[in-house]
């Protein structure tokens, strides 16, 4: 059941650094300029703080009984049940800041007892049966890129835990070029899927920052949004149907129905279920003809408020670009500083900005996909609105710079950690009428919480997803790490920001999902009875509660 598959070479490129982000051979460093900027803004450590060696990582003995191990190897084959050190450590965490702090310190006591790699839905079923019978927790593992603890090995009340690595289920299973739909296995990575589609003149158009490593099943399980989602739609909007192996049986939302009025949407229950109901075994997605051209460019606004209002108008007048990104004043300042050190001194001419009254203003990046003619037509309509709303075009330089570096930021995080800088991101969304209030509230909460600990932060924010009724806000904050108290420090900042989000009418997460880190705010988000309803649904699908314990739903 495969039209096509990633190559062995592609598969070989999937494993990330166990202690950080991405390709182990790619280790970009902050420029001197950026280091100087960070030193001045938040302070950095005197000495580099390196991760421990793999051999130094603390790891418990595998806790699976021989019986269970036997059933698992019978289900998937001996070579697909692995418990060597590297494999267990790689699967011991996702890529959140607390994950990396723990991994770099070598704290992997909770690592999975084994990593099981099924090759088919039938093998997933056999693994779940064995795990349910034996009371073994199961963490579905796609690309392992969660930044909210979504793949952390939480055992709940169970004595053993396996990570279910879906990497072997990576086929392009079916393609309907007439209906523009493609069916994939859950474990295929973004670039692999794009490569298989590109050969057929198609694209998914989904490019989150985790793109190089995240899996399609993970996108669906977490309601991912990508950099071009303003144009292409969030990943949940691209999912037409999916199948899920749950401990109690199969859950499926048919992909053949472009729309239906048949009751509550089971698809919308499975999408976003974060492995707590079952394991996605295939998913059918909307695809599009590959755009022949792509054009990014920069604009400047005098203030975040002015830029946000321009974005609102773009979107409500159906003239939004495919990529739309507005940095606030601090993020713009920081981007200019980082770029200046990276050899792109003329990202935006400061003298020009000053002369035009845009000094201290806000950078916008827009991206348009399509034929040259479509781009010209859509861009003209968008540019008219941006200009009238106070925007100053600053050419293709900033757009090109953003495009070049758009998957690099997570790599630089590793260098920041090495220099003793805490760097974390969080995101929310709200109505247009509440956007600036929420922006101020989250910034304020982060500044206050971290200043109170003696580590005043730099807080950056951008708008990157537009909707008719509102938009997302994506925050990055940095502060000098409190050595030995990194997790407390992070917790204090996270709690302050999340409380502010919930109190100010934002969603606790726009596209990172709930995972483990957002569970304490799930009741505020969904209401106590809403949580009860979702938990009842989970119990029907997973009576023993083995699926991804501790994630998504608060305990009763």
The verdict on 117 binding a copy of itself (CB under 8 A) reads: no
The structure tokens listed for 532 are 């009860």
Per the CB < 8 A criterion, the answer to whether 233 and 248 are in contact is: no
Residue 454 in the binding site for a copy of itself (CB under 8 A): no
Nearer to a copy of itself, 95 or 286 (CB): 286
3-state secondary structure of 124: helix
Nearer to a copy of itself, 160 or 547 (CB): 547
Taking the least distance from each CB to a copy of itself, the nearer of 90 and 266 is 266
x-or-dash string of contact with a copy of itself, 400-429, rule CB under 8 A: -----------------------------x
CA distances from 504 to 300, 312, 316, 489 (A): 28, 20, 23, 23
From candidates 401, 537, 544, 547, binder to a copy of itself by CB under 8 A? 537
Whichever of 316 and 491 has its CB closer to a copy of itself, that residue is 316
Binders of a copy of itself among residues 221 to 260 (CB under 8 A) are 222-225, 234, 240, 246, 248-254, 256-260
Residues between 268 and 327 with contacts to a copy of itself, criterion CB under 8 A: 268-274, 277, 286, 288, 312, 316
Provide the minimum distance between the beta carbon of 289 and a copy of itself in the complex, in angstroms, as a whole number.
8
| Residue carrying the six token digits 């890129």 | 145
CA–CA distance, 34 with 31 (Å, rounded to integer): 5
Q: How far is the CB of 345 from a copy of itself (least distance, A)?
A: 37
**Is residue 541 within the footprint of a copy of itself (CB under 8 A)?**
yes
Residue closer to a copy of itself, measured from CB, 30 or 270? 270
Q: Judged by CB under 8 A, does residue 471 bind a copy of itself?
A: yes
Chain-centre distance for alpha carbon 422: 18
Bridge-based pairing of strands 458-463 and 323-327 is: antiparallel
User: Smallest distance, Å, CB 55 to a copy of itself?
Assistant: 37
Q: Could you give phi then psi for residue 240, rounded to 5 degrees?
A: -90, -35
- Using CB under 8 A as the binding rule, whether residue 88 contacts a copy of itself is answered as no
Q: 491: closest CA among 530, 450, 460?
A: 450
Q: Does 516 bind a copy of itself (CB under 8 A)?
A: no
Q: Per rule CB under 8 A, is residue 201 in the interface with a copy of itself?
A: no
Kindly give the interhelix angle for 304-316 and 372-388, rounded to the nearest 10 degrees: 130
Tell me if 434 contacts a copy of itself by CB under 8 A: yes
**Of 182, 199, 17, residue with least CA distance to 94:** 17
Closest to a copy of itself by CB, 84 or 176: 176
The answer to the question of residue 548 lying near a copy of itself (CB under 8 A) is no
Q: Which stretch binds a copy of itself (CB under 8 A): 96-104, 201-209, 450-458, 510-518?
A: 510-518
Phi, psi angles (nearest 5°) of residue 472: -90, 160
Q: Which is nearer to a copy of itself, 124 or 513 (CB)?
A: 513
Cβ–Cβ under 8 Å, residues 535 and 553: yes
The nearest distance, CB 301 to a copy of itself, in angstroms, is: 18
Where in 171-200 is the site for a copy of itself (CB under 8 A)?
A: 176, 178-181
Q: How many angstroms separate the CA atoms of 507 and 60, rounded?
A: 37
Task: Provide, rounded to whole angstroms, the least separation between the CB of residue 258 and a copy of itself.
Answer: 4
Size of the site for a copy of itself (CB under 8 A): 85
Residues 279, 247 contacting (CB under 8 angstroms)? no
303 closest CA partner among 363, 356, 387? 363
Query: 406 — alpha (psi -120 to 50), left (phi > 0) or beta?
Result: alpha
Q: List the one residue from 12, 53, 529, 556 that touches a copy of itself (CB under 8 A).
A: 529
| 8 A C-beta contact, residue 365 and residue 402 | yes
Q: What are phi and psi of 141, to 5 degrees?
A: -135, 110
Nearer Cβ to a copy of itself, position 70 or 468? 468
Among 363, 514, 544, 546, binds a copy of itself (CB under 8 A): 514
Alpha carbon separation from 208 to 146, 213, 409, 439, 470 (Å, rounded): 12, 10, 12, 22, 20
């Amino acid at each position: 059941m495969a039209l096509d598959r990633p190559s062995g070479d592609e598969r070989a490129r999937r494993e990330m650094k166990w202690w950080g982000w991405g390709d182990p051979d790619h280790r970009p460093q902050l420029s001197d300029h950026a280091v100087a900027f960070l030193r001045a803004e938040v302070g950095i450590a005197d000495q580099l703080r390196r991760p421990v060696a793999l051999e130094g990582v603390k790891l418990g003995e595998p806790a699976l009984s021989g019986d269970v191990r036997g059933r698992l190897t019978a289900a998937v084959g001996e070579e697909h049940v692995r418990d060597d050190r590297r494999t267990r450590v790689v699967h011991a965490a996702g890529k959140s800041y607390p994950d990396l702090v723990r991994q770099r310190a070598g704290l992997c006591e909770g690592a999975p007892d084994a990593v099981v790699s099924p090759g088919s839905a039938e093998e997933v079923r056999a693994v779940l049966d064995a795990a349910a019978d034996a009371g073994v927790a199961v963490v579905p593992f796609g690309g392992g890129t969660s930044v909210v603890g979504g793949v952390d090995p939480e055992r709940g009340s169970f004595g053993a835990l396996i990570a279910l690595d879906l990497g072997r289920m990576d086929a392009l299973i079916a393609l309907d070029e007439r209906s523009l739909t493609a069916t994939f296995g859950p474990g295929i990575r973004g670039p692999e899927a794009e490569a298989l589609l590109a050969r057929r003149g198609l694209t998914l158009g989904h490019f989150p920052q985790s793109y190089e490593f995240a899996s399609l099943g993970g996108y669906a399980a977490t309601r991912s949004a990508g950099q071009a989602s303003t144009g292409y739609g969030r990943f949940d909007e691209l999912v037409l149907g999916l199948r899920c192996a749950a401990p109690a049986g199969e859950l499926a939302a048919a992909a053949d129905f472009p729309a239906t009025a048949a009751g509550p949407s089971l698809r919308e229950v499975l999408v976003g279920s974060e492995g707590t109901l079952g394991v996605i075994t295939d998913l059918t997605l909307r695809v599009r003809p590959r755009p022949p051209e792509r054009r990014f460019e920069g604009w400047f606004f005098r203030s975040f408020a002015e830029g946000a209002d321009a974005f609102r108008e773009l979107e409500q007048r159906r003239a939004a670009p495919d990529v739309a990104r507005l940095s606030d004043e601090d993020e713009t300042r920081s981007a200019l500083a980082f770029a200046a050190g990276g050899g792109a001194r003329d990202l935006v001419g400061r003298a020009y900005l000053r002369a035009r009254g845009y000094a201290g203003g806000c950078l916008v990046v827009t991206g348009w996909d399509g034929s040259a003619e479509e781009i010209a037509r859509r861009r003209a309509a968008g540019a008219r609105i941006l200009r009238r709303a106070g925007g100053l075009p600053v050419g293709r330089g900033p757009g090109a710079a953003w495009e070049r570096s758009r998957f690099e930021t997570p790599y630089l995080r590793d260098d920041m950690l090495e220099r003793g800088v805490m760097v974390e991101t969080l995101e929310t969304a709200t109505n247009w009428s509440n956007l600036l209030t929420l922006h101020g509230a989250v910034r304020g909460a982060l500044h206050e919480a971290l200043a109170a600990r003696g580590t005043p932060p730099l807080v950056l924010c951008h708008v990157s997803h537009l909707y008719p009724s509102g938009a997302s806000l994506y925050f990055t904050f940095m502060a000098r790490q409190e050595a030995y108290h990194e997790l407390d420090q992070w917790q204090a900042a996270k709690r302050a920001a999340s409380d502010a989000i919930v109190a100010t009418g934002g969603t606790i997460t726009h596209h990172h999902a709930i995972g483990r880190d957002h569970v304490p705010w799930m009741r505020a988000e969904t209401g106590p009875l809403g949580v009860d309803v979702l938990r009842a649904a989970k119990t029907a699908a997973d009576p023993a509660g083995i699926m991804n314990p501790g994630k998504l739903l608060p305990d009763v």
